[in-house]
A and B are shown apart, each in its own frame.
Chain A
Amino acid sequence: MHPVIDVQGAVKQYGVGDAAIFALDGVDLQINQGEYVAIMGPSGSGKSTLMNIMGALDNLTAGKYFLDGLEIDTLDENALALVRGRKIGFIFQSFNLIARTTALANVELPLAYQGIKGKERRSRAMAALKVVGLEDRINHEPTELSGGQQQRVAVARALCTRPSLLLADEPTGALDSKSTHDLLDLFDQINAAGRTVVVITHEDDVAARAKRVVRMRDGKIISDTVNKSVSK
């Protein structure tokens, strides 16, 4: 049984020579099936870069990254699209829903790109929207939904493909405290169902809900602790 995420000696370099900046400077990280991990750190610590690497959106300058045992850097464009579609569910700070498109159509989108058709697609999307508690809002467009609701649509979109990994980048950054609370409850629920959740955040109360907290600074992991108050 290999880990869901296996980052080995990851280096990400921007610029060359004197201007070179190491966003990641030798990072090793393993995350296993069913874990709930918060990655914390100040701006410029490399946590977003790490998230992009884990999400197969960016590639490494040096080192290796295995997602579910697949070495991501060796994959071509089409294989990457498949990995993003099937293995990863993304949640972004700015929701990133498709404008002028209903909640249902937004959730169906990744399923559509996987070639899932008609009834099955609709029922899976409906099920995901039910999980996030928006079954009565399926025909609303993003502009007709509150921030919290939009983010829950995004969660539904990430969930409906049944990914190995749910990756959330500052998911509560644009939400009020009530919506934040609801969303984190949702994450707990998703994790309790056995899904691996990785949350990037700089908010302590968000990190407090995770079972494991990884802290980063200047492209390096400075601490990796089990959150005793959560995991019993």
Chain B
Amino acid sequence: MSFFEIIRFAIRGLNSNKLRTTLTTMGIAIGVSSVIILLAFGNGSSKAVQAGIEKLGTNTITIQSNRGGFGGGRASASRSASSKPLTVGDAVALSDPIKAPDIKQAAPVAGANTTCTFGTNSSTPGSFNGTWPAWFEASNTTVAKGTYFTNEDVTEGRRVAVIGNTIVTDLFTGVNPIGQVMRCGGIPFTIIGVTEKKGSNGFQDGDSLVVAPLTAVQRSLTGYNNLQSIVVQAKSAKVQDLAQTEINTIMDAQHKVKNVSNRDYRTLNQASLLATTSSSSSVLTVLLGMIAGISLLVGGIGITNIMLVTVIERTREIGIRKAIGAPKRAIMTQFLIEATILSLVGGFLGVIGGLIGSHFKIVGVQPIIIPSSVFLAFGVSVLIGLFFGGYPASRAASLRPIEALRYE
């Protein structure tokens, strides 16, 4: 009895009940494709979050004051009597190319909390930054339409603004925003540019943004004392650690910090944020993979079920085969191959379905296929066929011909 012959018997067996074969195959196909798609989705969403953070600039370090903010003035004051706010002087010191050779540029940011209006429309920007033109490069923000503001705008204190896409849709639907004047906290700002769409980084809308010259914002909205942050751009992602050290040295000197464990400022590093989010999104991927794995398992149990039904239904046929000289091994192999073909074809269709399905965006996330997941899902589905087909096959093979022949 050749192996090829047994395969032919198996295919004939599967062919004789097409509906059942199709349904079982679909069970496996759905399992396999959902493994591939869900893992690709998890991977895609984590890549999207990473890309979002990278857009903020991986070689960007943000310095924030420990003085104000959520802790409130009193708590910080009790921590350090000598704590000083961030100043423009700090930003200037950080821009010193001799003391800080690995820092490309630094830009002070004054943050305002205000609502902007245009006609009857209003919008509250997620961030309203008064800053220097250097900020754009340091924070990886580009202007898509219109222009950046210039150092001259800063020195002159001109009330001009670059706005993000969310502000455009909130305020200027159907109107070209360039050249329009919006009022923020009652102060008029002329729109000179619109930033490139950034999308969400998973935490905040990067497009709900207004950027204006530091001096204008300080003069009209925030006052001169309270910088929200200083954005520092390292020369490259590689020298980020060196830049970090330089920042600490300069800032410690600027702020006369005596005890480094009790600084009146803190630094936020995009790279460490990236590491945190990628580890949390890998948890998501694993979770999705587990859910998909369960559906693959259910598909496998479906194979066992169908093969058991098939064995019972074909008891008589098995009896006949044994009576005319079929060895146990041939029967066993036939049923095992039937189960394996089911899972093989199902796995193959599932891979195709998974590859096609991964082309479509799911809730705005483009799934990115993990190549190993394709092989894994396919391999597991074939193993499932062998494993879950094994029990029904051995049951078929151990049927005694005399009993099998009596079966009606």
Chain A residues at the B interface, C-beta cutoff of 8 Å: 52, 55, 57-58, 77-78, 81-82, 84-86, 90, 92, 96-101, 109-110, 112-115, 117, 157, 161
Q: Are A114 and B317 in contact (CB under 8 A)?
A: no
What are the residues of chain A within 8 A of B2 when measuring CB–CB? 115, 117
Q: Are A85 and B402 in contact (CB under 8 A)?
A: no
Q: Are A96 and B325 in contact (CB under 8 A)?
A: no
Q: Are B328 and A113 in contact (CB under 8 A)?
A: no
What are the residues of chain B within 8 A of A98 when measuring CB–CB? 317, 320-321
Q: Given that A96-B316, A117-B2 are contacting pairs, would A84 and B402 also be in contact in the complex, using a CB cutoff of 8 Å? A: no
Q: Given that A109-B321, A112-B1, A113-B1 are contacting pairs, would A81 and B405 also be in contact in the complex, using a CB cutoff of 8 Å? A: no
Q: Are A113 and B320 in contact (CB under 8 A)?
A: no
Q: Are B402 and A81 in contact (CB under 8 A)?
A: no
Q: Are A161 and B402 in contact (CB under 8 A)?
A: no
Partner of B12, one of A82, A86, A101: A101
Q: Given that A57-B401, A112-B1 are contacting pairs, would A81 and B12 also be in contact in the complex, using a CB cutoff of 8 Å? A: no
Q: Are B16 and A110 in contact (CB under 8 A)?
A: no
Q: Given that A112-B5, A117-B2 are contacting pairs, would A82 and B325 also be in contact in the complex, using a CB cutoff of 8 Å? A: yes
Interface size on B, residues (CB 8 A): 23
A58: nearest residue on chain B (CB-CB)? B402
Ordered nearest first, which 10 A-B pairs have the shortest CB separation? A85-B325, A81-B327, A110-B324, A57-B402, A96-B320, A58-B402, A84-B325, A113-B325, A100-B16, A113-B326
What are the residues of chain B within 8 A of A115 when measuring CB–CB? 1-2
Q: How distant is B339 from chain A, measured CB to nearest CB, in Å?
A: 19
Partner of B323, one of A55, A78, A100, A112: A55
Q: Given that A55-B323, A109-B321, A113-B1 are contacting pairs, would A99 and B16 also be in contact in the complex, using a CB cutoff of 8 Å? A: yes
Q: How many Å lie between the Cα of A99 and that of B324 in the bound state?
A: 15
Q: Are B405 and A96 in contact (CB under 8 A)?
A: yes
What are the residues of chain A within 8 A of B319 when measuring CB–CB? 96
Q: How distant is B63 from chain A, measured CB to nearest CB, in Å?
A: 79
Q: How many Å lie between the Cα of A86 and that of B326 in the bound state?
A: 11
Q: How many Å lie between the Cα of A84 and that of B400 in the bound state?
A: 13
Chain B binding surface, main DSSP class: helix
Q: Are A81 and B320 in contact (CB under 8 A)?
A: no
B322 at the interface (CB under 8 A from A): yes
Q: How many Å lie between the Cα of A220 and that of B339 in the bound state?
A: 47
What are the residues of chain A within 8 A of B316 when measuring CB–CB? 96
A-B contact list, 8 entries, CB within 8 Å: A57-B401, A77-B327, A81-B325, A85-B326, A100-B12, A113-B325, A113-B330, A114-B1
Q: Are A57 and B323 in contact (CB under 8 A)?
A: yes
A157: nearest residue on chain B (CB-CB)? B324
Q: How distant is A95 from chain B, measured CB to nearest CB, in Å?
A: 10
What are the residues of chain B within 8 A of A85 when measuring CB–CB? 324-326
What are the residues of chain B within 8 A of A90 when measuring CB–CB? 323-324
Q: Are A113 and B324 in contact (CB under 8 A)?
A: yes
Q: How many Å lie between the Cα of A84 and that of B16 in the bound state?
A: 27
B4: nearest residue on chain A (CB-CB)? A117
What are the residues of chain B within 8 A of A92 when measuring CB–CB? 405
Interface string of B324-352 (1 = CB under 8 A from A): 11111110000000000000000000000
Q: Are B317 and A81 in contact (CB under 8 A)?
A: no
Q: How many Å lie between the Cα of A82 and that of B329 in the bound state?
A: 12
Q: How distant is B377 from chain A, measured CB to nearest CB, in Å?
A: 33
Q: Are A109 and B324 in contact (CB under 8 A)?
A: yes
Q: How distant is B1 from chain A, measured CB to nearest CB, in Å?
A: 5
Q: How many Å lie between the Cα of A85 and that of B325 in the bound state?
A: 4
Q: Are A86 and B405 in contact (CB under 8 A)?
A: no
Q: Are A81 and B328 in contact (CB under 8 A)?
A: yes
What are the residues of chain B within 8 A of A96 when measuring CB–CB? 316, 319-320, 323, 405
What are the residues of chain A within 8 A of B16 when measuring CB–CB? 99-100
Q: How distant is B338 from chain A, measured CB to nearest CB, in Å?
A: 14
What are the residues of chain A within 8 A of B15 when measuring CB–CB? 100
What are the residues of chain B within 8 A of A113 when measuring CB–CB? 1, 321, 324-327, 330
Q: How distant is A153 from chain B, measured CB to nearest CB, in Å?
A: 12
Q: How many Å lie between the Cα of A101 and that of B319 in the bound state?
A: 16
What are the residues of chain B within 8 A of A161 when measuring CB–CB? 325
Q: How many Å lie between the Cα of A161 and that of B5 in the bound state?
A: 18
Q: Are B405 and A99 in contact (CB under 8 A)?
A: no
Q: How distant is A78 from chain B, measured CB to nearest CB, in Å?
A: 5
| Given A84-B325, A92-B405, A112-B1, 4 more pairs with CB closer than 8 A | A84-B401, A96-B405, A109-B324, A113-B321
Partner of A86, one of B317, B323, B325: B325
Query: Which parts of B289-342 form the interface with A (CB within 8 Å)?
Result: 316-317, 319-330
Query: Which parts of B264-286 form the interface with A (CB within 8 Å)?
Result: none
What are the residues of chain B within 8 A of A101 when measuring CB–CB? 12
Q: How distant is B10 from chain A, measured CB to nearest CB, in Å?
A: 13
Q: How many Å lie between the Cα of A100 and that of B320 in the bound state?
A: 14
